[in-house]
Amino acid sequence: MTRMDFVVPVYNEQASIDTFMARLREALVGSDIEYRVVFVNDGSEDRTLDAIKRHRRQAVVIDLSRNFGKEAALTAGLDHADGDVVVPIDVDLQDPPELIPEMLQCWREGAEVVLARRCDRSTDSWFKRNSAGLFYRIHNAVADPSIPANVGDFRLMDRAVVEALRELPEARRFMKGLFAWAGFRTSIVDYHRDARESGGSKFNAWKLWNFAIEGITSFSIAPLRIWTYIGAVTALFAFTYAGFIVVRTLFYGVDVPGYASLLVSVMFLGGIQLIGIGILGEYLGRAYIEAKRRPTYLVRRVYGQSRDTD
C-alpha cells in the first residue's frame, strides 16, 4: 500500500480545517492509499491549533514557536513527512484534493515529480494574475533553473525528491526555486483553480513584491551583472558628453553653466548609485543571514509523532 503524506502549512485558518479534511477524505475514499496529513501551525493567532488537533487520528501537528512564514512552514512539513509520496497542499481548497488520484497515477507511471498547473486563474484578482505572469517572465529570463509558470506549491513528490530537498542547507528558502533546482523526472497535470473556501489571502501587494525579490536574488546574480552594464553605459555617456564640452569650448568659448542641469545630473547619478548600493545590500544581507546559520524554524511541540498515533 502506498503511504502518502500531505504537507499543509496553516496560519489563522480555523474556519477551513474541517472542510478541508472532509474534502480530502471524500477524494480518497476507496483508494489504496494510506494517507496522513502533516499540519504545520505557523504561529496562528486564532484557534487553528485546536481545530487541527481534533484530527490527530489522521494527522500529525507541527506547532511552530512563532510565525516563520510559509516557506519555513513548508520546510518543517517536508522535514517531518515520511510517506512514499509527499503532497504540499493549501488548506483553502483552491487546489482540489480530487486531483490526487490522477497525480498518483502519473507517479506510478514513472514520474518522480507531478506538477499541478493552473490553466484557469479567473478566481484570482487582476493584479495577482498579471503580477504573477510578470514575475515568471522576469525570473525565467534571468535565473536558472526556470520555474514552470502557473505552478504553485501543490505537487506530488517521490520520497527521493523529498530527501534531496532536505539536503539543501540554505536558511532563506524560496521553495518554488528549490523544487525546480532539484529536477527529477517531471509530469504536469492541468486543473482549474477554485475560489477560496473561506478567509482571504495572507499575501498583500507588498509581501508579493518582497517574495518576487526573494525569488530572483535566490537563484540569479543577474541584478549585479546588469548594474555593471548600467555603470558602463553611464560612464560612456559621461565621457562622450565631456568630449562634446571640450570641443564646443574650443570652438565657441565657455558658457555660463546652468544650475538646473547640474542639479539634475547630480541627482540622477546619486539615484543610480543608491539603487546599485541597494542591490549590493540585498545580496550582502542574504550572505549575512546565511552565515549566522540559524535554523529555518523552531518547533514548540509535535502532536502525534508516528503514523499510528491517535
Contacts of 66 (CB under 8 A, 6+ apart): 43, 298
Angle at 106 between CA 168 and CA 184, to 5 degrees: 25
Cβ atoms of residues 32 and 2 within 8 Å: yes
- Whether 180 contacts 147, CB under 8 Å: yes
Q: What distance in Å separates the CA atoms of residue 270 and residue 118, rounded to the nearest whole number? A: 43
Please check whether residue 189 is in contact with residue 117, taking contact to mean a CB–CB distance below 8 angstroms.
Answer: yes
Q: Can you tell me the mean pLDDT for 115-129?
A: 70
Q: Render the burial of 33-53: b for 16+ CB within 10 Å, e for the rest.
A: bebbbbbbbbbbeeebbebbb
What is the rounded CA–CA span in Å between residue 110 and residue 69? 33
CA 268/CA 253 separation, integer angstroms: 27
Would you give the distance in Å from CA 284 to the centre of its chain? 20
pLDDT score for 310 = 40
**Nearest 5 degrees, angle CA 296-CA 89-CA 82?**
65
Going 194 to 153 to 297 to 38, the CA torsion angle's sign is positive
**Average pLDDT of the residues in 127-144:** 69
Confidence of residue 263 (pLDDT cuts 50, 70, 90): low
State whether residue 66 is helix, strand or coil. Answer: coil
pLDDT single digits (tens) 217-230: 676 777 777 777 77
Cα distances from 101 to residues 7, 157, 161, 226, 244, in angstroms, run 17, 14, 19, 45, 71
In whole angstroms, give the CA distance from residue 288 to residue 281.
10
- Work out the average pLDDT over 14-33: 83
User: DSSP label at 275?
Assistant: H
Instruction: Report the alpha-carbon distance of residue 35 to residue 49 in Å, rounded.
Output: 20
Which tops the pLDDT comparison, 126 or 75? 75
3-state secondary structure of 152: strand
pLDDT at 276: 79
Q: Which of 43-57, 67-81, 152-166, 190-204 has the lowest mean pLDDT?
A: 190-204
Give the model's pLDDT for residue 211: 64
Give domain limits for the chain.
Answer: 2-204+295-303, 222-292
The whole-number pLDDT of residue 309 equals 43
Separation in Å, CA 128 to CA 13, 25, 39, 94, 135: 21, 31, 26, 15, 10
The Cα 90–Cα 19 span in angstroms is 12
DSSP for residue 193: P
What pLDDT is recorded for position 121?
Answer: 63
User: Which of these CATH numbers, 3.40.190.10, 3.30.360.10, 3.30.460.80, 3.90.550.10, describes 2-204+295-303?
Assistant: 3.90.550.10
Mean pLDDT of 101-130: 78
Averaged pLDDT score across all residues of the chain: 78
Is 152 a residue whose pLDDT tops 50?
Answer: yes
Higher per-residue confidence, 172 vs 39: 39
What's the pLDDT tens digit per position in 187-198?
888 887 776 655
Residue 67: pLDDT over 50: yes
